[in-house]
Amino acid sequence: MTEVSAYESNEYSSITTYFQIDESWKLRTGKGVEVAIIDSGIDADHPALLGKVKESVVARRQEKKVVFEPSDDGDSAGHGTACASIISRIAPDAEFYSIKVLGSGGSGDGQAFLAGLEYAIKKRYRIINLSLGTTRPQLFAPLHDLLDRAYQAGCIVVAAANNLPHPSFPSVFSSSLISVSKDDSTDPFDFGFRYGEVIELTAPGVNIKTAWLNKSYKQLTGNSFACPHIVGIIALLLETYPGLTPFHVKSALYAIAEENQKAKVKDAADQSDDNNETS
C-alpha cells in the first residue's frame, strides 16, 4: 500500500490531500484509457499494435492554419510506432489516438506541433505522449498556455527531455506536465524521481526494443523512449483509479518512485550485511 500526500496551492487556497493506492494497479492492462501520441504517426498494421489504434489524423496546411484530417498514412519515420509499442507492452489494452505532426525525417513545423497539442486537448484525451519538443523561443509562450489548458481539462501530458544538453519545450514546464529522461534500468515499474531537478522522472530508455517500420523491430536509446514507459504506468493507474486528476497522478508517481528508491537502499544494505557475514 502506497500512501500519497499531495499539497497543491493556487491563488485562492492551499489544499492538502491524502490517499492510498494498493499494488493492484500493477496487474491492470490500461483497458479503456485513451492515449494520444503526437508524433510521426503510428503503423496500425504492425503486429505489436493490431487493433489498438482507434483513430489516426494528420496535420495539413489549409491556407494560414493547420487542420487535421483522417489518415491511413501510417508512420512516416518509425518514431511514433516505437513509442506506441512501448506503451502497449506495459498497458496492452490502452487505446491509441495518433496525431501526426512529424514528417519522414522526424522533424516538423512548430505550428503543426501546437495545433496537434491543441487538438488532443480539445478531444480531452486522458494521456498525451509528447516524445518531441522544440528549442524555438517563440514557441515558449504558446506551449506554456496550451499546457495550462491541458491541466485544466484533466489531460495528463508526459513529455520527453531533450537528448542534447540544452533544455527544450515543453519538458521544462514541470509544473503543468510530467517530464521524463532516460536511465539504464530495465524494469518499467522501477522508475525514479530526481528531487529538485527540472526533468523530474527517470525511466528505462537505453537499448529499448521497439516496433519499427515495415513490421520490424529496433533497439533504441533516448529520452523519447523513456517517456512512453511513464505513459504506460499512468494508463495502469488510471484504469485502477479513474478519478485521479493530473495533480493526483503526479503525486502518485512521486510516492511510488520514492518507495522504489527506499527498496533499492534496503536491498543494498541487506546485500552489504550478507557480504559482511560471509567475509
- The string of DSSP codes covering 201-267 is EEEE-SSEEEE-GGG-EEEE-SHHHHHHHHHHHHHHHHHH-TT--HHHHHHHHHHHHHHHHHHHHHH
pLDDT in tens, 111-122: 999 999 999 999
Q: Where are the beta strands (DSSP E) in the chain?
A: 2-9, 14-21, 34-39, 53-62, 65-70, 95-100, 127-130, 156-160, 178-183, 192-193, 201-204, 208-211, 217-220
- Global model pTM greater than 0.85: yes
Q: Which CATH superfamily is domain 22-278 in?
A: Peptidase S8/S53 domain (3.40.50.200)
Tens digits of residue pLDDT in 28-59: 999 999 999 999 999 999 999 999 999 999 99
pLDDT at 13: 47
Which residue stretches of the chain have pLDDT < 50?
Answer: 12-13
Q: What pLDDT digit, counting tens, does each position of 203-232 carry? A: 999 999 999 999 999 999 999 999 999 999
List 96's β-bridge partners, or say none: 35, 53
The residue extents of the domains of the chain are 22-278
